């Protein structure tokens, strides 16, 4: 159970490092959802590029 919690907390930390995600200025939830997708895609591309 603690391992899953750590994964979730780590993911939120990665999202928080994104400049756009630090502030919650988006009016629509869809916009915030798209920003989360973009941040996670960028993280995965960086990981794959490091291989």
Q: Do the Cβ atoms of 36 and 12 come closer than 8 Å?
A: no
Domain that holds residue 7: 2-50
How many domains are there within the chain?
A: 1
Q: Encoding tokens for residue 21?
A: 């995600």
Please report the pLDDT score of residue 1 as a whole number: 62
The answer to whether the CB of 13 falls within 8 A of the CB of 43 is no
> Would you state the pLDDT for residue 2?
67
Task: Say what the pLDDT of residue 41 is.
Answer: 92
Q: Which residues contact 35 (CB under 8 A, 6 or more apart)?
A: 18, 20, 21, 26
> Residues in the chain with pLDDT < 50?
none
Q: What pLDDT, on a 0 to 100 scale, did the predictor assign at position 5?
A: 81
Predicted pLDDT of residue 26? 74
Structure tokens at 36: 């989360």
Residues 6+ apart with CB under 8 A from 19: none
């Amino acid at each position: 159970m603690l391992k899953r919690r750590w994964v979730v907390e780590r993911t939120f930390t990665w999202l928080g490092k994104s400049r756009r995600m630090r502030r919650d200025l988006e009016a629509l939830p869809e916009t915030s959802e798209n920003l989360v997708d973009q941040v996670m895609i960028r993280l995965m591309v960086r990981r794959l590029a490091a291989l």
